[in-house]
Amino acid sequence: MITCIAIDDEPLALKQICAYINKTPGLELSGEFDSAILALDFLANFKVDLMFVDINMPDLSGMDFVKSLVDAPKVIFTTAYSEYAIDGFKVNAIDYLLKPIGYPDFLKAVEKAKLWFEKDLVSVEQINTKNDILFIKSEYKILRIKLNEIKYVEGMREYLQIHTVVGAPVMTLMSMKKLEKFLPKESFMRVHRSFIVNLNQITTIERNRIIFDKNVYIPVSDQYKEKFKNYIDNFFL
């Protein structure tokens, strides 16, 4: 199931997109918003796969909204102006829908999204060859990283920074979602939209923050708090 949100300041356009999502198999509507600012608050605590975003909105445009996100969900833009199509593809949008939006055009865009998610899943399975090591492409090199040496992973827009117990962090072009699917769940947990931690490297927790050293405080967001607490409770005396 592909979880979705819809963002549009025009009530009728928002209602139409939500109706399309609700009647399309394989899609699940997680939220609807009449401003990008409200959507920002939602995404700070909840994870979704796909966003339908209007480009022309007051206060914060759909384009600027997507550019501001770290590890942004995939996006399908909606707009009344065809000249925005090129700008949409510059931020890796799956497609754009020109208003007024007919259901057949909506379905075509959704099929593109489904193909993207299927391709991403296959690529994860192909690299999952050994559970104790990870090969990462960084700049012009391929680096071998031992999973048990990873402390935490930080999302930085379309890039990830992998912090290990030795050496400098490794920067790679990859989504958090893709790496999360690859890492063994018994050892790694996503605790924030921008952080995955190695559970075996945790030594100190304070006020819903994981402390790796005096300069690194990883927040545990509300979305992941219960899951993380359950893990801690299993070892609590």
Q: What is the pLDDT of residues 170-186, one digit of tens each?
A: 888 888 888 888 888 89
Cβ–Cβ under 8 Å, residues 153 and 161: yes
Nearest CA-CA partner of 96 in 121, 119, 66:
66
| Cα dihedral across residues 180, 182, 185, 188: positive or negative | negative
Among 126, 147, 168, residue at a domain's last position = 126
150-162 average pLDDT score: 87
pTM of the model: 0.56
* Percentage with pLDDT > 70 across the chain: 89
Same domain, 38 and 104: yes
Give Cα separations from 205 to 170, 199, 217, 223 (angstroms).
25, 11, 9, 17
Same domain, 16 and 110: yes
Same domain, 112 and 137: no
The one-letter amino acid code at 170 reads V
Rounded CA-CA distance 85/91 in Å is 11
33: Cβ–Cβ under 8 A, 6 or more apart, which residues? 5, 6, 7, 14, 39, 42
Structure tokens at 70: 């770290």
Confidence of residue 61 (pLDDT cuts 50, 70, 90): confident
Structure tokens at 46: 């909840």
Q: pLDDT tens digits, residue range 89-99?
A: 456 788 889 99
Same domain, 69 and 179: no
Domain that residue 218 falls in: 133-233
Rounded CA-CA distance 161/170 in Å is 5
CATH number of the domain bearing residue 115: 3.40.50.2300
Concatenated DSSP letters of 139-186 = TTEEEEEEGGGEEEEEEETTEEEEEESSSSPEEEE--HHHHHHHS-TT
Number of structural domains found in the chain? 2
Question: Which range is most confident: 74-88, 112-126, 196-210?
Answer: 196-210
Same domain, 147 and 210: yes
